Amino acid sequence: MNNSTVATEPASPTWEFAHSYPIVTLLSVSYATIFIAGLLGNFAVITIVLRNHHMRSVTNIFICNLSVADLLVTVFVEPLTLLQNIVVGWHWGATTCWCVPYLQGISVCASSLSLLVIALDRYLAICFPMKRFIRRSLAKKIIAVIWFFSAALFIPWAYYFRLSHAPDGLINCREFWPSVTADRAFFLGVVTLLVYTTPLLFMAYCYCSIILRVWMRVRKDQSTTGAAKATSSDESRNTKVIPERLHSPTKEAPSDQERGTASDVSGYAETQPSETRTMNSFATPTKFTKM
């Protein structure tokens, strides 16, 4: 009896969860919620800006670019990030190994720089309202520079992310730098400075300047309003005093009849003897006395 050997095919790799089922379920639901919200929200922003011509302002163009970067993360990065967190090993090929981190770095850098230019646009619009520094043509050029800079900055991730084979046959996706302490540390330092620290400080300066300018305008408007109210109250008081003076009682001038009666009495008194004139001068009322 001949012993025949049967060639067996290698078993297909099985997916082993890195966490318990409740944790896997919680992570899956959380990522699914973020995925749906990010997909619908960013797609709605892009659609509204592109379909309405009057919505294509400089700020909205930058916001649309921010939505594109977030949509890139939502579609290409989040699903594989979820699988990488809940499944042991890497099961999606060598191309995906370097492509996913590279797209993640590009989108994060583009989002950060988009927030920076949005802050710059608001700062220029509020602090210098009579000037228009960024127009739509310049905004499109700025967006192109943002994506080019982001793609160039994270080229090392596309180059150094490779598959690694463990002795037990497990495949992982990880970075292979010539020097972990020097090259990788230098790269992460540059990324932190250009993508996080510098935009954060610049945005803080812009928004603090905006808050200060708005606060100064509010105080100026309040002082102007208070001065106007004080002036109007003074004018109203003066207006009330003038009619009172106009309606105050005054001594009326004697009428023509009274003046005629006084002159007749005075003439009659002159024709009488001196004693009679003296008596009449005491008996005649004051208003009929000849002055």
Residue 40 identity = L
pLDDT in tens, 51-67: 988 888 898 999 999 99
In sequence order, the β-bridge partners of residue 165 are 171
Q: What is the pLDDT of residue 115?
A: 94
Q: What is the pLDDT of residue 12?
A: 46
| Those residues with Cβ within 8 angstroms of residue 98's Cβ, 6 or more apart along the chain or in another chain | 157, 158, 159, 161, 162
pLDDT above 70 as % of the chain = 73
Answer for the pair 116, 203: CB distance below 8 angstroms, yes or no. yes
Closest CA to 161 of 175, 172, 151: 175
Residue 166 identity = A
Range 131-158 burial, b when 16+ CB lie within 10 A, else e = eeebeeeebeebbeebbeebbebbebbe
Assessment of whether the complete model's pTM goes beyond 0.85? no
Q: What is the pLDDT of residue 241?
A: 52
Alpha helices in the chain (DSSP H): 21-51, 58-72, 78-86, 93-127, 136-153, 155-160, 185-191, 198-246, 256-271, 274-283
pLDDT above 90 as % of the chain = 38
Q: Does domain 21-224 have CATH number 1.10.3720.10?
A: no
Q: What is the pLDDT of residue 4?
A: 41
| Those residues with Cβ within 8 angstroms of residue 162's Cβ, 6 or more apart along the chain or in another chain | 94, 97, 98, 173, 174, 175, 176
The DSSP 8-state label assigned to residue 288 in this structure reads: G
User: For residues 40 and 43, what is the distance between their CA atoms, to the nearest angstrom?
Assistant: 5
Answer whether residue 114 shows pLDDT above 90.
yes
Closest CA to 156 of 105, 230, 213, 193: 105
Answer whether residue 237 shows pLDDT above 70.
no
Task: Enumerate the domain spans of the chain.
Answer: 21-224
Closest CA to 203 of 123, 104, 265: 123
233 or 12: which leads in pLDDT? 233
User: For residues 160 and 247, what is the distance between their CA atoms, to the nearest angstrom?
Assistant: 98
